[in-house]
Structure 1
Amino acid sequence: MVTGSAVAEAAPSDGGWDDATLVGRAREGDLRAFEALVGRYQRRIYQLAWRMTGSSGDAEDVTQEVFLTLWRRLPELREDAAVVGWLYKTATNRCLNVLRSRKPTAEVDEATTPSHDATDDPERSAESNEQMQALAAALGRLPAKQRAVWLLREIHGRSYDEIADLVDTTPQSVRGRLARARVQLAEMMQPWR
């Protein structure tokens, strides 16, 4: 099972192989190549899932399901180098399914919350933590598809075309959802300006 601490573990050495090589080797049964793929992308997929679902437990489940599905579907993957897009699309769809099945709640993940170093200004640290909690809550109030688009663009840096493919829509729709998400987040975060 994927855990928050397992996500932070270092990736196995992959000899500097590219994704296509790792996928090809994993398809042939090379477990080390598959472990290298997991190590390379597990943290990103977990972070996307955590931000979309607002729950570390759901994020762990989604991450585990994504990589189990990848293992099972390696023979079906048509372009070995397209594994990253496949991972993001699968994770996004799984997260949307989780969100459809429940009302989202915000949860603060200690791994992404600013640390309280003794040398930091305590007042500033408290304010920063409150801002992170407010942002997590604001993201939790966005409709699931707007949240997915915002996270994929703003946090994961995906292009409009790639996001459109990941959420099965058009780039114009992505731009619209992103614009609405930005406006809603700006309104909800107004007290923090």
Structure 2
Amino acid sequence: MNKNDFKLKVFSLSERLYPMVARMLGNATSTEDAIQDIMMRLWDKRKHLEHHPNITGFVFLTARNYCIDVLRKNKSIVDDATPYLKVLKSGEDHKDVEWEELNTIIQNVLKALPEQQQEVFMMRDIDGYAFTEIAVAMAITVEHARVLLSRARKQIGIVLENTYSYERGDY
């Protein structure tokens, strides 16, 4: 794989990697360093990449594994999704309180979910990845990724329904 092929097929994916890496590592500086390290590792493996059947999947899997290695090395797990769950707020104070309450409820539900469900939910609904990309990055099947997302959404829905139906008096 020459320099131009690498730019087109691999380096062009660095912008799509950014949300996942940022979520996993937690800050912009670490994310930028990680993206650079990941690209350097992929550059070193460029001869093997040109014959790989799914280059995009390999790039995402490499990025995810790199982040997991960094987190294990630092022994700090980032589970605060606050920056990614923030919703544009309206000018009304009571709406701000409602959005903050909703975000807090969702964050608490996410923390209680199994790790795979959390990750699939974040990658699909927050980062916007396709099921095929999620499946390759997590080394699972597309069907399993869909099931994990469905279960996560269902659990979030149950908690939200219980919370808000209680407030309506429908219990």
Same fold (TM over 0.5): yes
Equivalent position SS for 1:68: helix
Q: Does 1:173 align with 2:144?
A: yes
Which of residues 72, 87, 105 in structure 1 aligns to 2:44?
A: 72
Equivalent position SS for 1:105: coil
Which whole-Å CA distance do the structure 1 matches of 2:104 and 2:145 have between them?
26
Structure with the larger helix share: 2
- Return the letter of the residue paired with 1:113: K
Which of residues 173, 179, 182 in structure 1 aligns to 2:153?
A: 182
Change (3 A) 1:113 1:182: closer
Number of equivalenced pairs: 160
How is 1:126-165 mapped onto 2 (pairs within 5 angstroms)? Answer: 126-155=97-126, 156-159=128-131, 161-165=132-136
Which whole-Å CA distance do the structure 1 matches of 2:160 and 2:69 have between them?
27
Identical aligned residues as a percent: 22
Q: Is the Cα–Cα contact under 8 Å of residues 60 and 133 in structure 2 kept in the other structure?
A: no
- Return the letter of the residue paired with 1:144: E
TM score, norm. by length of structure 1: 0.57
**Pair member with larger Rg:** 2
* CA RMSD between the two structures: 4.0
Q: Is the Cα–Cα contact under 8 Å of residues 49 and 58 in structure 1 kept in the other structure?
A: no
Change (3 A) 1:178 1:45: same
Q: Is the Cα–Cα contact under 8 Å of residues 21 and 67 in structure 2 kept in the other structure?
A: yes
Structure 1's unaligned 5+ residue stretches are 1-19, 28-32
- Return the letter of the residue paired with 2:80: A
Counterpart residue number, 1:94: 66
TM score, norm. by length of structure 2: 0.62
Which whole-Å CA distance do the structure 2 matches of 1:181 and 1:58 have between them?
30
- Return the letter of the residue paired with 1:106: D
Moved more, 150-159 or 57-66: 57-66
Change (3 A) 1:116 1:69: same
Structure 2's unaligned 5+ residue stretches are 166-171
Counterpart residue number, 2:169: none
Q: Is the Cα–Cα contact under 8 Å of residues 60 and 136 in structure 2 kept in the other structure?
A: no
